[in-house]
Structure formats: structure tokens, C-alpha cells
Amino acid sequence: MSTSTAAQGSRIHHLKAPERDVAGGNAIEATVKEIVADVRRDGDAALSRYSALHDKVDIATFEVSMEDRQKAVESLDPQTRADTLFAIANVTAFARAQLATILPLDVEPLPGVHLGHRVIPIGRIGAYVPGGRYPLLSAPVMTIVPAKVAGVGEIIACLPPGAHEAMVAGCHLAGADRIFRLGGAQAIAAMAYGTAQIPAVDKIVGPGNAYVNEAKRQVFGQVGIDQLAGPSEIYVLADGTGDAEMIATDLLAQAEHDVRTRVGLITTDRALGEAVMAEVERQLGDLSTAAVAREAWQRFGEVVFCEDEDAMVAYSDHIAAEHLQVHTADAHATAARLCNYGSLFIGTMASVVYSDKCCGTNHTLPTMGAGRYTGGLWVGSYVKVATHQWLDERGVAAVAPAAVRQSASEGLEGHRRAAALRVERGQGGASSL
């Protein structure tokens, strides 16, 4: 057993410590840099080369035709289609409720000084839809539906050529305007810079592998991005009331995503921590996805015993987990003390899987501690809140003297003249958006 110190100095004790994750970032960075440069230089020809190299397909036309989109939808199992539409309806409803909280603003803090902002949808976004081991139909729902609700002008979806046809159907049902069979770092580069076939977008959203993530990092600035996502994460906070079987089940449900998934329990009850570790091993015995989940658990699983709830909360805020479940006697009271997380699941009935699939909140969330400074993907990620101002003569009289003096003290004569000119002319230049 090792001992470490949480962010606020409270003592915590590891019953199981994770490995340090070393992902070989320098090699990935160099590879992606070459791909991005090739796509910028050679356009669609580079996309065809990389599709042949990495996806083993000979493809010249990347866009999925409307006929093929309709065929993909028609080939969906009826229950799968109904469940997808159920998820779309719930994500749509929650996104609309969120958008209703982002309001235009017009105020007059000083007589004649009118300030405000408008909520403007982004013109064109690119949604990267990962292929992965399984056809994750929730992925296009989470990236495309909020964009539709926000009023984005055009939604471009890219997914790897080998992705299941159901994923094409998911993109279509979610509302993608155009769908391209194009994956990897080359898809990110194409959406960032544009090619003859792929239109350049204003912002790229959606998760992907390490190469996709690195490509998003490299093209940021040319386009906006939602976030840099690492391996998926789930942590559970629990006291002595925790249910070892339920906690172990939830940890393994996330661990089966990827061998680098981070899963953890932070508890004030040592016996519960030991029981969860034993239960995880028991459940791995008959879990069909154990090959993936076991490696994630063995390498990146973490179980921490904290001396009291203060230490548990402090350590949780230090981790800032992507998904954070609260299984305590008063889950709402514990939840109210937490500040750093991607999405919070309060009480034993709120499983991560419900949000991952269909309950309405977005599953594209901050990882690697980014929950300390940002939230996840939401309808607000697809709009710009842009300010404006207009002044009349009274407003100029109120603010010009201070602006003139400040400009003079800073030695900015051009600024001073611009601030003084309107006073000298005696006009406010009143206008309105």
C-alpha cells in the first residue's frame, strides 16, 4: 500500500494505485504533423493515399450519397432505429432547454452607453465520429444534435471508411448535412483546411484516438475545437453505504471501452474498497469484454481510502474525473461539495451508461483533469456570444474624458485623438444592431 497527499493536504491511502500512462506523444506528434502537411499540400490525393495506407480501402469519392444514407437507415434493425430516435429526442430536448438559458443582452449601464451581446450560431462545424471496436450509435447523436439545435449553418460528419453502416445511419438521423467516409488525422486536416471534396469548417468537435486528438491540437487556431480528449474515465465516490457489486459493475462498464480507460473508487470505507477490488476480479471471470476491461483495470484502476469525507472530496476535485458517480448516504449533499468533474451522477440510480446512451446529457466530456477548468460539449459549444455597443451624445460625454486621459497616460496619441474627436464634433454616432 502506498500513501499520497491530496490537493488540500489530507491524507489518502492507495489500496490500488494506477500505472503512469505514457502514450508515446513525440512519435504521434511527428506522424500527425506530416499527415496535416500532406493534406494541406495535396488535398484529396493525400486523403486517398492515407485511406489506402491506414484503412486499406481504395476510395476516390469520400461523400456518402443520399441514396446510400437512406439505405443505411433502412437497414437498421427497427428496435435500434427506435432507440436511436429516442436518444435523439432526449438530447434535443435537453439541448433546447440549455439554449433557452443563453439569452441576448442589451443594457444601458450609463446614460447613452448601450452594451449588449448576440448569440450567433457557428457557420459550419465538423463532427468527427469515431469507428472504434463497436458501432457506438450515441457518438453522432452527441456531436450533431446539439449543433442542429444551436442553428449551425452546415454540419459536416466524418467517420472512418470501415465504420459500421449503422454509424452512417446515426449521422443521417442526427441531422448531418453531409457525411464523408474519411477517418484519422487526415479527416481532421481536411476539415480544418478544406480540399476539393471536403469543405473547410469553422470548428471541429468529437472524440477520437490519439492521432485524431493530436491532429485537433495541431489545427487549433485555424479552426476551433471542442477539447483535447484522453482515455475515458469513471470514478465513484462512496461511503460505507456503497454497494460493492454495483460499483464494480459500473467500473467495468466503462473499462470495456478501451485498454487505457481510467477507472477508480474513492471511499471513506476501507472494507468497501477491498470488497470492490474482489468483486471486480469476480465479474471479470465471465465478462465477454474482459480482455479489454481487465487490462484497463490492472493498469489504470485506482482504489483510494480516505480518512474522512473532506479528504474524499478534496481528492476527487484533484482527479477531476470525466464521469463522477456519487454513492453516499446523502448523495445530493456530497455532490453539492464537488467542483471538478465532467459530468456528475448523483445517487446509485444514476449510471453513466444512461448518459452515455440516451438520457439527454452529453457524453463528450473533459478528461485528464480538464474538468478543473472546463465543462463538456453542449449546445453552447456551437454558438458565439459576441458583444456590441453603441453610444449617443450622452454616452460620449460619460466615457470620453476617461478614455482621453488613459490614452494620453499610455502615450497612445492615436487613441487619444480618436477618443477626443467625437467630443469635439459633439456627436454620438448613435446606431443600433
Do residues 257 and 229 make contact, with C-beta atoms less than 8 angstroms apart? no
State CA 339 to chain mean position distance. 18
- What pLDDT band is residue 6 in, cutting at 50, 70 and 90? very low
Confidence label for 432 from pLDDT (cuts 50, 70 and 90) = very low
313-342 confidence digits (pLDDT tens): 999 999 999 999 999 999 999 999 999 999
Residues 174 and 258 grouped into a single domain: no
The confidence score (pLDDT) of residue 131 equals 82
Q: Are residues 311 and 418 in the same domain?
A: no
Structure confidence at residue 26 (pLDDT): 87
Question: What is the total count of domains within the chain?
Answer: 3
CA atoms within 13 A on the CB side of 364: 28
Assigned domain for 369 exists: no
**Residue 368 falls inside a structural domain:** no
Residue 322 annotated as catalytic? yes
- Split at pLDDT 50, 70, 90, the class of 10 is low
Q: Is 63 a catalytic residue?
A: no
CA end-to-end span of the chain: 64
Residues 211 and 291 in one domain: no
Radius of gyration of the chain (CA): 26
Are 222 and 249 found together in one domain? no
Residue of 323, 363, 393, 424 marked catalytic? 323
**Cβ pair 203, 126 in contact under 8 A:** yes
Does 263 lie in the same domain as 156? no
The answer as to whether 430 is a domain residue is no
236 and 176 housed in the same domain: no
pLDDT for the residue numbered 427: 53
Domain boundary pick from 212, 228, 244: 228
- Asked whether residue 325 is domain-assigned, the answer is yes
194 and 276 housed in the same domain: no
> Residue 432 domain-assigned?
no
User: 185 and 279: one domain?
Assistant: no
Q: 58 and 148 share a domain?
A: yes
The answer to whether 192 and 223 are in contact (CB under 8 A) is yes
CA 248 to chain centre: 25
> pLDDT tens digit string along 23-60?
556 899 999 999 999 999 999 999 999 999 999 999 99
Containing domain of residue 314, as a range? Answer: 2-21+231-360
pLDDT tens digits for range 293-307: 999 999 999 999 999
pLDDT category at 433 given cuts 50, 70, 90 is very low
Cα–Cα distance, 206 to 210 (Å, whole number): 13
- Looking at the fold, whether 276 and 239 belong to one and the same domain comes out as yes
pTM of the full structure: 0.92
Tell me the pLDDT band of 430, cut-offs 50, 70 and 90.
Answer: very low
The model's confidence at residue 133, banded by pLDDT at 50, 70 and 90, is: low
Q: Give the pLDDT confidence score for residue 134 in this predicted structure.
A: 67
CA pair distance 36, 146, nearest whole angstrom: 28
Q: pLDDT of 378-403, one tens digit each?
A: 999 999 999 999 999 999 999 999 99
Q: For residue 69, is pLDDT > 50? A: yes
Distance CA 308, CA 133 (A): 40
pLDDT band at residue 274 using 50, 70 and 90 as cut-offs: very high
CATH of the domain at 8: 3.40.50.1980
Name the active-site residue from 214, 279, 322, 327.
322
Query: Does 315 share its domain with 333?
Result: yes
Assess whether 15 and 69 both reside in one domain. no
Is residue 317, in this structure, part of any structural domain at all? yes
Question: Among residues 170, 204, 228, which one ends one of the domains?
Answer: 228
- Check if the beta carbon of residue 395 is closer than 8 Å to that of residue 428: yes
C-alpha cell at 259: 485498454
With respect to residue 373, please indicate whether it lies within any of the assigned structural domains. Answer: no
Residue 14 near residue 319, CB atoms below 8 Å: no
Among 180, 196, 228, residue at a domain's last position: 228
Q: Is 271 a domain residue?
A: yes
pLDDT over 70 at 9, yes or no: no
